[in-house]
């Protein structure tokens, strides 16, 4: 259904205003329209007038029609809702083009405002047209009745006689009123993803960007939180959150100029990516998701989590299986007996799925390390004489599901595939490809439809031949190197970064159309694909190749700013940890892994009986709390980045009848004083019975089995002993608690 508003007629506009906007009766300017984009708790108000620009008036908590009508839409209150380059080139712009006649000015005016329904969602579209050229840009705003997130994106349609070149093409723009405004963003590196960085916004430009080509969340992240009332707090203060949902290179800019606003721009990274639109062609940008909360950072996170689970993440509302992944247990040493043993072991602990990682494939070149065989996706029967079916039978015998690792976007120069198809990899014609992981890894050119077919067929063959495969770990371990495509024309070499991801989307759409039920994990050298752009096709992502429980407290904390636990692969691994060589207690490792999508990344045969029993118990307990952990509301309480010696957060069921409280010590000093933590998100009037999970202490905690009101727990909190009451030889410097709270 599409409602069209003809702005040339004030009468029509008034009739439509109930559905679309609160009409301004101010005599000046004559036909100004206030466009209200609303979610249950938030409002975005724009001001449009046919024949002139589109202004931004307001973004924040929900406004009444009277408040919208009273909003000032004159003079300084009018800021562009999406600045186009050309007439005021001294300011930053959201979009810049070169028209077919060489003109670089975009003189865009509102032509039409419409509202369409897409299922439950509503899309408000402001169509803008250049005054001098037949170039159209549609600014879209999509909302859902049950989520406080506004999705915004643009579509540019070239009606000109020749090529239009997009030189900058942001998904969205938001002016943020200055004050004591702080930015929280994520930064990191391989095995050190999603660290929170917090800073006041000052004059100049803050740029957060990615140029990897294929993976976009190891270093910076394409999401930010902006706290409007001073230093960011978890459960208080007004916060705007922005998440660019894209699989490729992005750029977020926050420009603080001489005006009263910080200006947020977000979109595809335009560097080396000028995009030519032929006559009649259009270009749609990825979505920028915006949220607003007056319940602090945690409130903004809850908005993203809910929107993500309900509307973005593949099967976001379903519970995830508890798995054992083979990587850190055996690395490339895949063989039938080893896999069978691991399957038996995880089944014995109550796990539900086994995932065979890298090393299972290869013909002429066996995949014994990372330098060969990508592209040769045939099972290596020297290692697995009974093939995948043998493993699937074994899994079935153990009553668990089976998953498998693949890396479809890549090949090695040492592979049968590359020997046959050197023309299908990314490289500039005439240049030898640059080599990545293992000294031989190269990236397939997904801008090429032939590569798209090969990739789809590879996955299709695997899943058709082995329909019992339940889970795929989809990896991507190389950046795009040496810019160039052997497929794209010489005029369109700058399309590579964008067309790679258009190709990726086509492949994933085809896979999902045929295989909606297979769980697919996005992995990319660990946490390189933690972005909402991937999640419509992927059920989860691997947070990091670093499985050290202490560092995971930090990385999972940062990741949770935008992503819910249901998508965070979080595994119990061995000590000394393989990345940091730290020795944490098994309890600590379990208690951290239990706050995400629980799994194991370990060789069970190296575990003691006691450790196996502890994991078996933890898995059984996790099954009890899984709905709350994976589908509940997150309240972060004490940040590890505040360096107070501990970190704490909780998950609360939407009906507030159940909650899980996590507390992890992050350092140990004798005589140290740690803050007592007030809980959050509970019903003050309900009585909650406390049960400790993964208990190792010889004596129960004093409050075990006792009931407390939500009010008491939130105002006062419970005392956490600084260490565990265990036999002397079991003592160590890591303490943690997981408490289950159940309303009586």
Closest residue to ligand GLA: CB criterion: 358
Return the residue of 80, 192, 273, 525 that touches ligand GLA, per CB under 6 A. Answer: 525
- Sign of the CA dihedral running 371, 373, 375, 381: negative
Name which of 224 and 334 has its Cβ closer to ligand GLA. 334
d(CA 203, CA 207): 12
Name which of 503 and 569 has its Cβ closer to ligand GLA. 569
CB of 658 to ligand GLA, least distance (A): 33
Name which of 57 and 330 has its Cβ closer to ligand GLA. 330
Residue 104, CA distances (Å) to 52, 67, 99, 134, 628 in order: 19, 39, 6, 14, 53
Residues numbered 700-719 forming contacts with ligand GLA, rule: CB under 6 A: none
Closest CA to 104 of 80, 140, 82, 135: 135
Q: Which residues pair with 155 in a beta bridge?
A: 138, 284
Name which of 136 and 441 has its Cβ closer to ligand GLA. 441
Task: Give, as one character, the DSSP assignment of residue 237.
Answer: B
Q: Is 345 in the site for ligand GLA (CB under 6 A)?
A: no
> Which string of x and - marks every residue 457-476 that binds ligand GLA (by CB under 6 A)?
------------------x-
- Residue showing tokens 């099967």: 315
Q: Is 380 in the site for ligand GLA (CB under 6 A)?
A: no
Name which of 270 and 370 has its Cβ closer to ligand GLA. 370
**Strand (E) or helix (H) holding 409:** none
> Which string of x and - marks every residue 348-377 that binds ligand GLA (by CB under 6 A)?
---------xx-----------x-------
Name which of 175 and 329 has its Cβ closer to ligand GLA. 329
Q: Report helix, strand and coil shares of the chain as percent, to nearest 5.
A: 25, 30, 45
CB of 104 to ligand GLA, least distance (A): 44
Stretch that binds ligand GLA, among 9-17, 137-145, 491-499, 523-531 (CB under 6 A): 523-531
CB of 613 to ligand GLA, least distance (A): 27
Question: Helix, strand or coil for residue 130?
Answer: strand
N- to C-terminal Cα distance for the chain? 47
CB of 599 to ligand GLA, least distance (A): 11
How deeply is 490 buried, as exposed, middle or buried, from its count of CB atoms within 10 A (0-12, 13-18, 19+)?
exposed
CB of 138 to ligand GLA, least distance (A): 39
Name which of 17 and 477 has its Cβ closer to ligand GLA. 477
CB of 521 to ligand GLA, least distance (A): 10
**Strand (E) or helix (H) holding 536:** none
Record the tokens describing residue 455, joined without a space.
Answer: 């990739």
Q: Is 477 in the site for ligand GLA (CB under 6 A)?
A: yes
Any residues with CB less than 8 A from the CB of 88 and at least 6 apart, and which? none
Q: Is 405 in the site for ligand GLA (CB under 6 A)?
A: yes
Residue 63, CA distances (Å) to 13, 43, 225, 306, 432 in order: 20, 6, 22, 22, 59
Name which of 256 and 368 has its Cβ closer to ligand GLA. 368
Closest CA to 246 of 144, 170, 136, 132: 170
- Residue showing tokens 């160039």: 484
d(CA 599, CA 341): 17
CB of 371 to ligand GLA, least distance (A): 11
Q: Which residues pair with 662 in a beta bridge?
A: 649, 738
CB of 345 to ligand GLA, least distance (A): 19
d(CA 511, CA 404): 16
Stretch that binds ligand GLA, among 263-271, 287-295, 518-526, 631-639 (CB under 6 A): 518-526
Q: Is 526 in the site for ligand GLA (CB under 6 A)?
A: yes
Name which of 52 and 368 has its Cβ closer to ligand GLA. 368
d(CA 598, CA 119): 33
CB of 527 to ligand GLA, least distance (A): 8
Q: CA torsion 398→327→213→462, rounded to 10°?
A: -30
CB of 477 to ligand GLA, least distance (A): 5
Name which of 38 and 326 has its Cβ closer to ligand GLA. 326
CB of 109 to ligand GLA, least distance (A): 49
Question: Helix, strand or coil for residue 20?
Answer: coil
Name which of 36 and 215 has its Cβ closer to ligand GLA. 215
CB of 338 to ligand GLA, least distance (A): 16
Alpha helix (H) ranges present in 18-162? 65-70
d(CA 283, CA 514): 26
Q: Is 545 in the site for ligand GLA (CB under 6 A)?
A: yes
Name which of 481 and 680 has its Cβ closer to ligand GLA. 481
Return the residue of 123, 459, 523, 593 that touches ligand GLA, per CB under 6 A. Answer: 523
CB of 483 to ligand GLA, least distance (A): 24
Q: Is 334 in the site for ligand GLA (CB under 6 A)?
A: no
Stretch that binds ligand GLA, among 110-118, 277-285, 520-528, 562-570 (CB under 6 A): 520-528
How big is the chain by its Cα radius of gyration, in Å?
A: 27
Question: Helix, strand or coil for residue 554?
Answer: helix
Record the tokens describing residue 129, joined without a space.
Answer: 């047209």
Stretch that binds ligand GLA, among 80-88, 263-271, 519-527, 669-677 (CB under 6 A): 519-527
Any residues with CB less than 8 A from the CB of 445 and at least 6 apart, and which? 424, 425, 426, 451, 485, 486, 487, 500
CB of 328 to ligand GLA, least distance (A): 8
Name which of 312 and 404 has its Cβ closer to ligand GLA. 404
Name which of 188 and 286 has its Cβ closer to ligand GLA. 188
Question: Under a CB-based contact definition with an 8 Å cutoff, are residues 168 and 94 in contact?
Answer: yes
Question: Under a CB-based contact definition with an 8 Å cutoff, are residues 546 and 526 in contact?
Answer: yes
Question: Helix, strand or coil for residue 484?
Answer: coil
CB of 671 to ligand GLA, least distance (A): 40
Question: Under a CB-based contact definition with an 8 Å cutoff, are residues 196 and 188 in contact?
Answer: no
Stretch that binds ligand GLA, among 164-172, 427-435, 521-529, 605-613 (CB under 6 A): 521-529
Question: Under a CB-based contact definition with an 8 Å cutoff, are residues 305 and 629 in contact?
Answer: no
Alpha helix (H) ranges present in 375-525? 387-397, 416-420, 449-465, 496-514
Total binding residues for ligand GLA by CB under 6 A? Answer: 12
Residue 141, CA distances (Å) to 38, 153, 210, 242, 557 in order: 10, 7, 25, 14, 30
Name which of 154 and 412 has its Cβ closer to ligand GLA. 412
Name which of 477 and 614 has its Cβ closer to ligand GLA. 477
Name which of 448 and 546 has its Cβ closer to ligand GLA. 546
CB of 332 to ligand GLA, least distance (A): 8
d(CA 415, CA 46): 56
Name which of 404 and 652 has its Cβ closer to ligand GLA. 404
CB of 14 to ligand GLA, least distance (A): 58
CB of 327 to ligand GLA, least distance (A): 5
**Strand (E) or helix (H) holding 434:** none
Stretch that binds ligand GLA, among 57-65, 232-240, 522-530, 715-723 (CB under 6 A): 522-530
Interface residues toward ligand GLA, by CB under 6 A = 327, 357-358, 370, 405, 475, 477, 523, 525-526, 542, 545
């Amino acid at each position: 259904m599409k409602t069209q508003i003809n702005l040339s007629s004030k009468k029509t506009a008034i009739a439509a205003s109930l559905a679309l906007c609160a009409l301004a009766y101010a005599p000046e300017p004559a036909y100004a329209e206030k466009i209200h984009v609303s979610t249950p708790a938030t409002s975005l108000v724009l001001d449009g007038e046919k024949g002139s620009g589109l202004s931004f008036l307001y973004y924040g908590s929900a406004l009444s029609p009277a408040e919208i009508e009273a909003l000032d839409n004159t003079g300084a209150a009018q800021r562009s809702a999406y600045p186009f380059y050309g007439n005021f080139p001294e300011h930053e712009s959201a979009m810049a083009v070169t028209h077919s006649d060489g003109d670089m000015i975009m003189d865009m005016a509102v032509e039409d405002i419409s509202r369409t329904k897409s299922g439950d969602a509503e899309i408000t579209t402001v169509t803008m047209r250049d005054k001098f050229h037949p170039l159209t840009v549609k600014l879209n705003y999509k909302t859902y009745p049950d989520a406080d997130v506004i999705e915004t994106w643009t579509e540019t349609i070239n009606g000109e006689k020749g090529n239009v070149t997009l030189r900058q093409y942001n998904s969205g723009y938001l002016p943020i009123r200055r004050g004591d405004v702080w930015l929280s963003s994520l930064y990191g590196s391989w095995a050190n993803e999603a660290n929170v960085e917090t800073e006041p916004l000052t004059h100049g430009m803050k740029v957060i960007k990615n140029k990897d080509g294929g993976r976009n969340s190891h270093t910076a992240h394409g999401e930010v939180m902006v706290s409007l009332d001073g230093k960011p707090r978890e459960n208080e203060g007004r916060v705007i959150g922005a998440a660019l949902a894209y699989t490729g290179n992005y750029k977020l800019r926050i420009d603080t100029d001489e005006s009263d606003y910080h200006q947020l721009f977000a979109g595809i990274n335009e560097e080396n990516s000028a995009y030519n639109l032929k006559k009649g062609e259009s270009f749609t940008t990825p979505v920028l998701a915006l949220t607003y909360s007056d319940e602090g950072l945690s409130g903004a996170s809850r908005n993203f989590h809910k929107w993500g689970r309900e509307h973005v993440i593949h099967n976001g509302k379903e519970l995830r299986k508890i798995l054992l992944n083979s990587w850190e247990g055996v690395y490339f040493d895949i063989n039938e007996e080893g896999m069978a043993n691991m399957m038996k072991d995880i089944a014995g602990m109550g796990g539900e799925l086994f995932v065979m990682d890298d090393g299972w494939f290869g013909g002429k070149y066996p995949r014994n390390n990372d330098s060969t065989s990508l592209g040769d996706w045939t099972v290596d029967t020297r290692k697995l004489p009974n093939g995948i079916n043998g493993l699937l039978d074994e899994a079935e015998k153990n009553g668990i599901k089976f998953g498998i690792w693949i890396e479809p976007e890549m090949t090695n120069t040492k592979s049968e595939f590359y020997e046959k198809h050197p023309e299908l990899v990314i490289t500039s014609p005439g240049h030898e490809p640059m080599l990545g992981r293992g000294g031989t890894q190269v990236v397939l050119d997904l801008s090429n439809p032939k590569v798209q077919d090969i990739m789809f067929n590879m996955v299709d063959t695997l899943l058709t031949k082995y329909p019992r495969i339940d889970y795929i770990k989809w990896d991507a371990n190389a950046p795009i190197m040496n810019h160039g495509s052997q497929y794209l024309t010489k005029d369109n070499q700058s399309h590579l970064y964008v067309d790679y991801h258009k190709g990726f989307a086509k492949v994933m759409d085809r896979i999902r159309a045929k295989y909606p039920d297979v769980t697919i994990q996005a992995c990319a050298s660990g946490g390189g694909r933690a972005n909402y752009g991937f999640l419509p096709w992927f059920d989860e992502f691997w947070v990091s190749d670093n499985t050290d429980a202490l560092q995971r407290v930090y990385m999972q904390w940062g990741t949770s700013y935008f992503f819910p636990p249901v998508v965070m692969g979080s595994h119990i691994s061995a000590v000394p940890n393989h990345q940091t060589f730290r020795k944490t207690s098994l309890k600590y490792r379990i208690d951290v892994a239990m706050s995400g999508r629980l799994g194991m990344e370990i060789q069970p045969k190296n575990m003691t009986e006691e450790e196996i029993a502890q994991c078996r118990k933890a898995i059984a307990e996790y099954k009890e709390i899984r709905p709350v952990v994976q589908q509940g509301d997150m309240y972060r309480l004490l940040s590890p980045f505040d360096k107070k010696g501990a970190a704490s957060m909780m998950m609360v069921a939407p009906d507030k009848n159940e909650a899980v409280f996590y507390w992890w010590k992050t350092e140990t000093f004798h005589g140290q004083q740690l803050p007592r933590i007030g809980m959050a998100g509970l019903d003050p009037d309900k009585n909650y019975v406390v049960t400790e999970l993964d208990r190792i202490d010889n004596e129960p905690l004093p409050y075990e089995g006792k009931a407390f009101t939500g009010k008491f727990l939130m105002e006062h909190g419970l005392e956490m002993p600084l260490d565990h009451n265990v036999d002397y030889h079991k003592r160590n410097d890591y303490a943690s608690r997981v408490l289950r709270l159940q309303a009586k």
